[in-house]
Chains A and B, each alone.
Chain A
Amino acid sequence: MIKNLRVKSSEYIDETNRISFKFNGKTYHGFKGDTLASALLANDVHLVGRSFKYHRPRGIMTSGSEEPNAIVQINPGTNRTEPNVRATEVEIYEGLEASSQNCWPSVEFDIGGINNFLSPFFPAGFYYKTFMWPASFWEKYEFFIRHSAGLGKSPTSSDPDIYDHRNIHCDVLVVGAGISGILAAKNAAKNNFKTLLVDEKNELGGSTIYENNEFNKIDNKTPSEWLKKEIEELKNIKNLEIKTRTSVAAYHQYNYLLARENLTDHLEAKDKTNKIRQRLLKIRAKKVILATGALERPLIFNNNDRPGIMLSSAVKKYSEFYGVACGNKNVFFTNNDSAYESALSLYNKGINVDAIIDIREQSESKIVKKIKEIGIKIYWSHSIVDTAGYKRLNSVSIMKLSNDGTSVTGSKISISCDCLGIAGGWTPAVHLYTQSGSKLKFDEEKQIFLPNQNTSEQISVGSCGGDFKIDEIIKNLNHKLKDNLNIKETDLDNIKVEIDQENSKRNIWLLPSDKPLGKTKPFVDYQNDATAKDIKLALREGFRSIEHVKRYTTTGMGTDQGKLGNMHALGIIADTAGVKMGELGTTTFRPPYTPLTFGTIVGRNVGKFFDIFRRTPINDWHVENKAEFENVGQWKRAWYYPINGETMHQAVQRESKAARESAGILDASTLGKIDIQGSDASEFLNRVYTNAWSKLAVGKCRYGLMLNEDGMVYDDGVTTRLGENHYIMTTTTGGAANVLGKLEDYLQTEWPELDVYLTSVTDHYATASLCGPNSKKILKKIIPDLDLSDENFPHMSFKDAHIGNIQCRIMRISFTGEHSYEINVQASYGKDLWEKCIEAGQEFNITPYGTETMHLLRAEKGFIIVGQDTDGTMTPIDLQMDWIVSKKKYDFIGKRSLYRSDTMREDRKQLVGLLTDDPNIVLEEGAQIVSELNQSPVEMLGHVTSSYFSPNLKKSIALAVVRGGKDMMGKKLFVPMENKNINVTIANPVFYDEKNERLNA
């Protein structure tokens, strides 16, 4: 029989809308408006998980995003499953399933629970100390650790949901819609600031919205009643956008914030489809008003982690907001008045409160008097020394606290209870504030860190700014708003507040027990099972920096980033080390404040939108003709064109032979093209390329090699002089954007005196590269009136021509060693040009070839590909391309570096050809080259950079870089592979047509 602890109706719970959900396979019921946590508590379920290290049973501690224990797997086994979700933030819906994490086989019986009894063997740094030795055992340890560790399961099928990003620019962003946030947003918007108000909860109002304490009045109303009226008025305000279920994850410099808006997580499965699940808001705000509130602190005492032990403020919220009693026998443990407010709230709802244990000597506030009148037993100057109940709290033991608070005396009293609300004071939620780069200072009196030095246009208002009482909040908010927004009057000027709140508090970071610390378990970080003992051990072992202690003990390193216990960790360190809190500093809070899904981060950039891809104007033809494609940078390039079920090898061999025997055609549209104009264009090229350009005649082409300033080869390509002051440069496909960027950099910053203009025209032209002994005949058919004689149109020259009405630029240049033409037309005519070439080439068996054949053909000629045969450590001299480096030019980019002692070494790796002794063995690209086989260790002389089987030479050929290779012609070396050693010989890298006779064939 499931007990029902729903005690009183609440306006936030719709009892006409009953919802069934499953937790750990069992069906429960709740109502619309419940969170998973409130619904479970209403069913008297406290035990929801196991702790990370000791596998101790853990329950729901809080009612918000700071929850360390109640983290669950949502909809396990489905493609919408999500791990590490806080039960306190999940709104229930029909069909919701959730399960505990970090336990096996079940949360009720968890094998890992044995760690709890072994805990003396699991001190801080246990993993560091134990699993280090012997090193070879790590794999075995890792298996054990991974098997027993568990922070949920990721989905195994793809995410069915849609995610989105939105950019927002606003004048004022208000984070948090409690009383301060609402008043700030209202006044900002009323004063014509374009305002955005966000809150992580589904309802506005923060904790004030259920503040029905009779001792606090605003304009003669309870805070709750008064705030509801204010919220009602927000609806009629222009300039104000409100987003609920929206959690700010990150606050970066210059008021740039990222927030996650949750749109469908609270809906049933059938209502989730085809909707955006979560949206990442990228907000740039002129001013930010942080109204993020405060988090209640726990108290640190022996066995303070049992299911049933909760924050006092959470017990109050479950009663006031959700109408749920967290226990039948409730007890509070406190160091301030907050617990009395919770107790009164429970009493007013008819929920039994048995006792309040207060470490203070006394308090005389009205609310304490009221509790006395009601007859709830108060134990002044007492502390809890132990608790009992394995899967649910059943009693607490208390003893009298000594005057100095360091020990307990007298006899032990046992109080039976099934829920304990703990109240250790309040910590301003300054996480976002510090993320922005702003600095905190420690307030000795209040024992809290407060905003101090702002780095951007921001203010912190309400309790995150250190104001906890409603009168202080409103007074200081009013000042800050007027100051920050530069306004004279606000709604807050005439608010009358009557309050009875006392700030009296007795702060003891670690409460004593009758047992020594070694025998107790006072948890500081619940999620990571770090205890006060661990922190003290770290200090004893010499750790001093808070950041080091944090990592050693894992305090604050969980998914909750230690929102509850970080202050206590600092306090314990300060007390133990005998230093002041303010001197220790705080640990760094990093984004995200609460975890984000990967879906939210990537938004729409999934599937085919994951990255941009570029297609040439001829792409459709390649697709129609069944080309296989390869990615070259962002381009999709035709790789090879298999016919009749050919393998890649077969297709490439066929294409390569055809290109040399008759005619081949390649889509070269992806090559980078930069239009260079200006009266200093020639001088500019002189400075950026290694060779000389001044004497290049109009209408001629020249190959150029570009270096980095460090002398290493950066890019290459052919540049054509179109006119006196006009060139077109081609770059490698992958390097186009970087080359343009680099050239612009030199032009703008080093040589602003040059009259040169650069324009990227890569996408403006389509290029068909026609090659082979019959290429001339094919071109003649297409352009009959163009004189193609070697005299009129020699190799390395250019002609303007027309194909019908289409203007084209034709370069007679070759990357294959064959007689060839690159025909450039306006991009939109690309496919037409290509089809004309194919049609005219029919009688010559014109063969389209892809990038693989292009690579093979150029390797036969020993032409390098920058980025394949070079890797940023190769100079032109290393490439045996001395011929292209001008000795006459005074300077060019990288020239001086070619004369550095290191670049002039004779034993640098140099580009050579490599032939296998067995002509049928094709080397693997990247394979290592050695000169000795029977030596260990053996020096690696170099590696294979390009390797193919050449159908034209009927043997395997390779290019390689080899230490001192230039002077090793004919030397026998070895390429050791896994199963065999391959004998190779260093050769001339030009394997085919060394005299370049075919260019004019």
Chain B
Amino acid sequence: MFLINCPYCGERDQQEFKAGGEAHIERPKQPTELSDDEWAEFLFMRKNIKGVQFERWNHAHGCRKWFNMVRDTSNDEIKAIYKMGEKPPTQ
């Protein structure tokens, strides 16, 4: 079980959190302008990387805040955590 450093509350057990999938997939501002394929790309396609992945997490049983996490999915190392709206760290 991970130990996750919520940017608002500090270190907490993973069981307080909910994973929210890949991060930095912005909802299109003008959905009607998109083709079916472009909309499907936003709606369904996710990378599911083995390795360093940018993810959304929610402190569901805590402050309820969403934040981003950089995690290596091959060994579950959490490399960085940053707030929504903040720039992802460069590696």
User: Which residues of A come within 8 Å of B, CB atoms?
Assistant: 252-256, 284, 437, 455, 709-710, 741, 744-745, 748-750, 752, 890-891, 895-897, 899-901
Alpha-carbon distance A437/B60, docked complex (angstroms): 27
Partner of B32, one of A252, A253, A255, A891: A891
Is the CB of B39 closer than 8 A to any CB of chain A? Answer: yes
Q: A437-B75, A745-B20 are in contact. Are A895 and B31 (CB under 8 A)?
A: yes
Inter-chain contact B66/A748, CB cutoff 8 Å: yes
Inter-chain contact A253/B36, CB cutoff 8 Å: no
Inter-chain contact A253/B1, CB cutoff 8 Å: yes
Inter-chain contact A710/B1, CB cutoff 8 Å: no
Please name the 4 residue pairs, one residue from A and one from B, whose CB atoms are nearest each other, closest first: A896-B31, A254-B3, A256-B1, A748-B66
* Chain B, range 3-36, C-beta contacts under 8 Å to A: 3, 13, 18, 20, 26-28, 31-32, 34, 36
Inter-chain contact B75/A752, CB cutoff 8 Å: no
Interface size on B, residues (CB 8 A): 27
Is the CB of B43 closer than 8 A to any CB of chain A? Answer: yes
B-chain residues with CB within 8 Å of residue A744 when the two chains form the complex: 58, 64, 66
- Nearest A residue to B33 via CB reads A896
Inter-chain contact A741/B60, CB cutoff 8 Å: yes
Alpha-carbon distance A710/B31, docked complex (angstroms): 12
Query: Which of A254, A710, A897, A901 has the most chain B CB within a 10 Å cutoff?
Result: A254
Alpha-carbon distance A744/B65, docked complex (angstroms): 8
Inter-chain contact A900/B60, CB cutoff 8 Å: no
Inter-chain contact A256/B34, CB cutoff 8 Å: no
Shortest CB-to-CB span from B18 to chain A, Å, is 8
- Nearest B residue to A902 via CB reads B36
B-chain residues with CB within 8 Å of residue A252 when the two chains form the complex: 1
Partner of B2, one of A254, A741, A745, A896: A254
Alpha-carbon distance A455/B76, docked complex (angstroms): 10
Shortest CB-to-CB span from B91 to chain A, Å, is 19
Inter-chain contact B40/A455, CB cutoff 8 Å: no
Inter-chain contact A897/B3, CB cutoff 8 Å: no
Alpha-carbon distance A915/B1, docked complex (angstroms): 53
B-chain residues with CB within 8 Å of residue A255 when the two chains form the complex: 3
Shortest CB-to-CB span from B1 to chain A, Å, is 5
Partner of A900, one of B1, B3, B36, B65: B36
Inter-chain contact B31/A284, CB cutoff 8 Å: no
Q: A253-B2, A744-B64 are in contact. Are A710 and B43 (CB under 8 A)?
A: yes
Inter-chain contact B84/A437, CB cutoff 8 Å: no
A-chain residues with CB within 8 Å of residue B31 when the two chains form the complex: 891, 895-896
Inter-chain contact B85/A752, CB cutoff 8 Å: yes
B-chain residues with CB within 8 Å of residue A253 when the two chains form the complex: 1-2, 76
Shortest CB-to-CB span from B13 to chain A, Å, is 7
Shortest CB-to-CB span from B31 to chain A, Å, is 4
Partner of B36, one of A256, A741, A749, A901: A901
> Given known contacts A256-B3, A741-B58, what 17 new A-B pairs fall within 8 Å (CB)?
A253-B2, A253-B76, A254-B1, A254-B2, A284-B13, A437-B75, A455-B75, A709-B27, A709-B43, A710-B43, A744-B64, A745-B58, A745-B66, A748-B66, A749-B56, A891-B31, A899-B32
Inter-chain contact A896/B32, CB cutoff 8 Å: yes
B-chain residues with CB within 8 Å of residue A901 when the two chains form the complex: 36
* Chain B, range 51-80, C-beta contacts under 8 Å to A: 56, 58, 60, 64-66, 75-77
- Nearest A residue to B27 via CB reads A750
Alpha-carbon distance A255/B11, docked complex (angstroms): 13
Alpha-carbon distance A748/B66, docked complex (angstroms): 7
A-chain residues with CB within 8 Å of residue B36 when the two chains form the complex: 900-901
Q: A741-B58, A752-B84, A891-B31 are in contact. Are A896 and B39 (CB under 8 A)?
A: yes
B-chain residues with CB within 8 Å of residue A437 when the two chains form the complex: 75-76
Inter-chain contact A749/B77, CB cutoff 8 Å: no
Alpha-carbon distance A455/B74, docked complex (angstroms): 12
- 29 A–B contacts from the bound complex (CB under 8 Å): A252-B1, A253-B2, A253-B76, A254-B3, A255-B3, A256-B3, A284-B13, A437-B75, A455-B75, A710-B43, A741-B64, A744-B58, A745-B66, A748-B66, A748-B84, A749-B66, A749-B84, A750-B26, A752-B85, A890-B32, A891-B31, A891-B32, A895-B31, A895-B32, A896-B32, A896-B39, A897-B39, A897-B43, A899-B32
Alpha-carbon distance A891/B40, docked complex (angstroms): 16
Shortest CB-to-CB span from A545 to chain B, Å, is 18
Partner of A748, one of B28, B60, B65, B76: B65
Query: Which of A256, A455, A896 has the most chain B CB within a 10 Å cutoff?
Result: A896
Inter-chain contact A455/B77, CB cutoff 8 Å: yes
B-chain residues with CB within 8 Å of residue A254 when the two chains form the complex: 1-3
Alpha-carbon distance A252/B84, docked complex (angstroms): 28
Alpha-carbon distance A896/B28, docked complex (angstroms): 10
- Nearest A residue to B66 via CB reads A748
Alpha-carbon distance A623/B40, docked complex (angstroms): 51
Shortest CB-to-CB span from B64 to chain A, Å, is 6
A-chain residues with CB within 8 Å of residue B26 when the two chains form the complex: 750
B-chain residues with CB within 8 Å of residue A748 when the two chains form the complex: 65-66, 84
Alpha-carbon distance A900/B13, docked complex (angstroms): 41
- Nearest B residue to A709 via CB reads B43
Alpha-carbon distance A797/B1, docked complex (angstroms): 49
- Nearest A residue to B78 via CB reads A254
A-chain residues with CB within 8 Å of residue B77 when the two chains form the complex: 455
B-chain residues with CB within 8 Å of residue A741 when the two chains form the complex: 18, 58, 60, 64
- Nearest B residue to A740 via CB reads B64
Inter-chain contact A900/B2, CB cutoff 8 Å: no
A-chain residues with CB within 8 Å of residue B84 when the two chains form the complex: 748-749, 752
B-chain residues with CB within 8 Å of residue A284 when the two chains form the complex: 3, 13
Inter-chain contact A900/B39, CB cutoff 8 Å: yes
Alpha-carbon distance A891/B58, docked complex (angstroms): 26
A-chain residues with CB within 8 Å of residue B13 when the two chains form the complex: 256, 284
Alpha-carbon distance A699/B3, docked complex (angstroms): 47
A-chain residues with CB within 8 Å of residue B56 when the two chains form the complex: 749
Shortest CB-to-CB span from A741 to chain B, Å, is 7
B-chain residues with CB within 8 Å of residue A897 when the two chains form the complex: 39, 43
Shortest CB-to-CB span from A244 to chain B, Å, is 25
Alpha-carbon distance A895/B3, docked complex (angstroms): 38
Alpha-carbon distance A752/B18, docked complex (angstroms): 20
Shortest CB-to-CB span from A880 to chain B, Å, is 24
Shortest CB-to-CB span from A665 to chain B, Å, is 35
- Nearest B residue to A252 via CB reads B1
Query: Which of B1, B28, B40, B76 has the most chain A CB within a 10 Å cutoff?
Result: B1
Alpha-carbon distance A890/B28, docked complex (angstroms): 13
Alpha-carbon distance A126/B43, docked complex (angstroms): 47
Shortest CB-to-CB span from B73 to chain A, Å, is 12
- Nearest A residue to B64 via CB reads A744
- Nearest A residue to B3 via CB reads A254
A-chain residues with CB within 8 Å of residue B85 when the two chains form the complex: 752
Alpha-carbon distance A691/B82, docked complex (angstroms): 35
Shortest CB-to-CB span from B11 to chain A, Å, is 9
- Nearest A residue to B32 via CB reads A896
- Nearest A residue to B23 via CB reads A749
Alpha-carbon distance A899/B1, docked complex (angstroms): 42
Alpha-carbon distance A923/B3, docked complex (angstroms): 52
Alpha-carbon distance A897/B44, docked complex (angstroms): 11
A-chain residues with CB within 8 Å of residue B43 when the two chains form the complex: 709-710, 897
A-chain residues with CB within 8 Å of residue B32 when the two chains form the complex: 890-891, 895-896, 899
Query: Which of A709, A745, A749 has the most chain B CB within a 10 Å cutoff?
Result: A749
Alpha-carbon distance A895/B64, docked complex (angstroms): 27
Shortest CB-to-CB span from B88 to chain A, Å, is 14
Shortest CB-to-CB span from A197 to chain B, Å, is 22
